[in-house]
Every structure is written in structure tokens, then in C-alpha cells.
Amino acid sequence: MYKLSYHSYVALLICSFVVSGLHAQDVIAKYAPSGVKIDGIATEWQGYEEIQNDKSQLSYLISSDTSNLYLVLKTKDKKKQQNILGAGLTFSLDPKGKKKATFSTTFPSPDGNDLSDFKNLETAGLMERVKNSGMRQIRLHGFDQLPEYIPSQKNNHNIQAAISFNADGELIYEECIPLKLIGFDGVQQTPWAFNIKVNGLYIKTFLERNLITTEVIAVPAGTSVASASRGGRGTPKRVNPAGNADNPVNAEYNTQQLTPSMDFWGKFTFPK
């Protein structure tokens, strides 16, 4: 039987630590370039190294300057693109380095989006549909004194997000969050935890007497499937357990997962 030498064992042990570290997605954030514009084009980030996450088929980078934290994310995977466009991407932060979503943003906010708008379209069609769609809101969680929903571009809080497509068919997601809103003091060097989540889509089957209708919906992060069910396309409604919003008799609904969500945790350190 073949036995490992001491040096071979040590080498394998070191390699296992390296692989574990890569899997943990530890990031040292780079200082952001000047003149960053949140438009989904990301040309100012050329030359910045992106981190590949094979599990999610995403590449991303985290950066900051003296005012903002930035997330730039790309994916060429059609299913991930469809999930992001239909259900949104949630970016969560924990200043204490634990796996707790102290602050989170979800964009695009799924309440106004119809998944069918993005089905079976090539890159040019997707770009045009995104440009003309209702992707205008970011959903916030954990930001004290801020509303739950804010415009994705022009708002009084300077949280911004945008999505676009490049010529290679990659979806590009850009976001910036002011450091003052997440309590960064400019000197803390302990790692922060982050989570990137591509939200899943759900299908709602609604039964009323002999009528059965099916609708594809997105469940916002932090919302139960039942409470997110809608009574009509494009207009969120709460359904009475004994019926629906319009007819409270002889009606029920069932919500099932259509596509799974996907997420991963990591840690990053602010640039010195």
C-alpha cells in the first residue's frame, strides 16, 4: 500500500487550506477608480480583477473609495440572467463579519417586473427591454430612517443600482452604497461579511371555483411566499385565506418554486 511521505502530507494539507480559502470568497477590496458612474456599462472597471464563483456562474468585484462601497457583477448564464431580471439580486452586508444580513438591497425590486418580458430574447432584445422596463426601484432592509423602496438612480440617499448587457451577452450589475449609511468609520480593518443572492422565481396557481390561472411571480428577499402572492398581474394583492381579494368565497391559491435561489457568503476588507 502506498504511503504519503511527511512532506507530501504537508503539501496536501497546505493545498486543502488554499482551496478552502478560495471557497470562502475572501476579498481584499480595491480602491475604486475616479468618476464611477452607476449605469450598468462598467467601462471604468477595466483592468480590475474579477472574482469567479463557479457555483453561481457569476463574476464580481467589491471596491470602495472614501464615500461609497461598490459591487460590480457579471453573468453570461441565461438562467441567472432571467432570475436577476425577474426576481432581483440581493446584496447583504454584516459589519461584524458574521452571516447575518444587517443591511441588504434588492434590485430590481420584483414588484413591478413581469418575467415574461425577458423570455426568449437575444442580447439586443434584452438590452432594449431592460432600457424600457419598469426597473426603477431598490428594496432596502436594515437602513434605519430610510424608506423600504427608493428609486434606483435619483434619490436623496445616493444608493444606486443599474443593469445592462454588453456586446458579449453578459448581464452587468452595478451598485453603490454610501459608507455613512452602513456605519463604516473609515478606519475599521476587520473583515465584513457579504452575501450575494440571485433570488428564485415562484409560480402561483390560483383556483376559484372552476377557474384555474397560473402566474409567474418573484418573491422579494425577506418576504414569505404566501404573503408575496398576487391577485392580478402587475398589481400586488393580499389574498384572504377564505378566498381572494375580490371574491372571498370558494377560492384558494398554491405557490410553488419555479427556479431555485442561489447565494454565497464571503468576507471582504476595505482598502487601506
Q: Per the domain annotation, does 113 fall within a domain?
A: yes
Q: Per the domain annotation, does 163 fall within a domain?
A: yes
Q: Give me the domain span that covers residue 156.
A: 27-199+262-269
d(Cα 43, Cα 254) in Å, to the nearest integer?
A: 44
Residues 42 and 101 in one domain: yes
- Give me the DSSP letters along 240-267: PTTS-SS--SSEEEEEEEEE--EEEEEE
Residues 155 and 125 in one domain: yes
Residues 168 and 59 in one domain: yes
Q: Per the domain annotation, does 126 fall within a domain?
A: yes
Distances (CA, A) of 162 to 135, 204, 239: 9, 28, 32
Residues 180 and 212 in one domain: no
Residues 186 and 51 in one domain: yes
Q: Per the domain annotation, does 9 fall within a domain?
A: no
Distances (CA, A) of 154 to 72, 157, 249: 19, 9, 44
Q: Per the domain annotation, does 2 fall within a domain?
A: no
What SS3 state is found at 87?
helix
Whether the per-residue pLDDT at 264 is higher than 80: the answer is: yes
What SS3 state is found at 55?
coil
The predicted pLDDT at position 196 comes to: 98
Assess contact for 66 and 89: CB atoms under 8 A: no
Whether the per-residue pLDDT at 15 is higher than 60: the answer is: no
Q: Per the domain annotation, does 7 fall within a domain?
A: no
Residues 91 and 126 in one domain: yes
| pTM recorded for the entire structure | 0.72
d(Cα 66, Cα 271) in Å, to the nearest integer?
A: 10
For the chain, state the CA radius of gyration: 21
Half-sphere exposure of 192 (CA within 13 A, CB side): 28
Residues 67 and 156 in one domain: yes
Query: How many domains is the chain built from?
Result: 2
Residues 237 and 150 in one domain: no
d(Cα 135, Cα 105) in Å, to the nearest integer?
A: 14
The predicted pLDDT at position 184 comes to: 93
Residues 170 and 150 in one domain: yes
Smallest CA-to-CA distance from 115 within 152, 141, 78, 148 is with: 78
Residues 207 and 175 in one domain: no
Residues 194 and 205 in one domain: no
List of long-range contacts for 213-219, beta carbons under 8 Å, 24+ apart: 216/86, 216/114, 216/115, 216/116, 216/258, 217/110, 217/255, 218/86, 218/87, 218/88, 218/110, 218/113, 218/115, 219/87, 219/110
Domain holding 59: CATH number? 2.60.40
Q: Per the domain annotation, does 8 fall within a domain?
A: no
pLDDT, averaged across the chain: 76
Q: Per the domain annotation, does 147 fall within a domain?
A: yes
> Which residue did the predictor score with more confidence, 58 or 254?
58
For 17-58, the pLDDT digits (tens) are 333 333 456 888 999 999 999 999 999 999 999 999 988 899
Residues 62 and 187 in one domain: yes
The predicted pLDDT at position 148 comes to: 95
